[in-house]
Copies of this chain bind each other. A is one copy, B any other.
Amino acid sequence: MKRIAILGSTGSIGRSTLRVAESYPERFQIVTLAAGSNLETALEQVRHWRPRVISMATETSAATLRSRLRKEGLNDVEVVHGAAGTVRVATHPEADFVVSAIVGVAGLEATYDAVKAGKMVGLANKECLVAAGELITAEARKQGKPLLPIDSEHNAVHQCLRGGRIEEVERIWLTASGGPFLHTPRSEFASITVEQALNHPTWKMGRRITIDSATLMNKGFEVIEACRLFHIPPAKVEVIVHPQSTIHSMVEFVDGSILAQFSVTDMRLPILYALTYPERIPSEMRFAVSDLRHLDFCPPDLKKFPCLRLAYEAVEAGGAKTVALNAADEVAVAAFLEGTIGFNDIPRLIEEVLDATESGKLESIAQVLAADAAARRSAHERVARSGRSTRKTGRLRATSFA
């Protein structure tokens, strides 16, 4: 029986993890949950899973949940809240495996503490590797515990890497769907609308990650994550566009052999893999290999998608630069979604923030959070200074940050 803590239980990955746990009641037990502020979902999860502890985002929502639970006679569930509550959930002595799926930098401290407490950790939170990857992976190596990636690309790489030792890797090939603008001429990029950008061809996802997929920044983050997770230099991580997103990623070994992984596009698969690693257990998530017909590939166009280049530059410099990359992107994407800036302004704004950021090693999660806050301020200032919504037939004028 594996005892699981979920950071971000009411989010998409959190709910998928619970569905996996539900399918294998003899294997998995949910011991602690960190929910957001969705009270009803949290309440249902407590009713169903009876965890030892649940943490809510705020003191108020924790108090409400506590009184609701008391009314239902569920007095044995401890309700905590905030950052300290999340840490308590992540480091609970009964938890063997921590699923880190809180979106944003909010989950950093708790994930780091889980690793320090010697837990197996499944990572679904991008920031853990993009912003705090150097710290967290160093700690995991110290603990001698693997970090298991819960996203289709790095999970695929993790699987392919079983075909050899890490020193035998020539290159990691991350596949990219190419996003909705793979075939859009560069000249039309300035007039890309929010609606167009939110229309991702393969995956249904949240708004920010959908825009990050459209700019290929998401793939840039994945390059950084791959470097940190697998202790490999950026020069050994490549991106190849694969519109069907069937192959989730590939590993090329020094002898010239390449291993590729594919499967149905269902997040429960990498979750199951992470939860059961190094075992594999039967699932019903079957890819119909006999229905396989065509797989297409092409190289990414770095001129159309400068975000990918920026990610390589940031991870090359390391430290505060990748923190700034993530923070600036979050601000820029939000501004784009609000109609304040144009599509081409996203990479422009990020590049400006990166240029204004000193690269420097970060020694603690506190320093990561400080660098994150500084980059956000810098990005917000730049948006405020020059962003102006000029809606005309649903399109946004590209603004300049010169």
Chain A residues in the interface with B (C-beta under 8 A): 159-160, 162-165, 168, 170-171, 173, 238, 240, 247, 250, 252-264, 269, 272-273, 276, 279-287, 289-290, 292-299
Contacts and interface: CB of A to CB of B under 8 A. Distances in A.
7 contacts: A162-B162, A250-B289, A254-B281, A257-B263, A257-B280, A259-B260, A290-B299
Contact of A290 (B238, B255, B261): B238
Contacts of A260: 247, 259-262
Interface of chain A: mostly helix, strand, loop or mixed:
mixed
A282 to B, nearest CB: 4
Contacts of A247: 260
Given A294-B295, A298-B293, A255 B238 contact: no
A290 B292 CA distance: 22
**Total identical chains:** 2
Contacts of A259: 159-160, 163, 259-261
A285 B255 contact: yes
Contacts of A256: 263-264, 269, 283-287
Contacts of A294: 294-297
A240 B293 CA distance: 10
Given A255-B282, A256-B284, A258-B262, 4 more contacts: A173-B289, A252-B289, A254-B280, A257-B273
Given A240-B292, A292-B240, A263 B258 contact: yes
Nearest to A239: B290
Nearest to A298: B293
Contacts of A283: 254-256
Contacts of A295: 294-297
Contacts of A269: 255-257
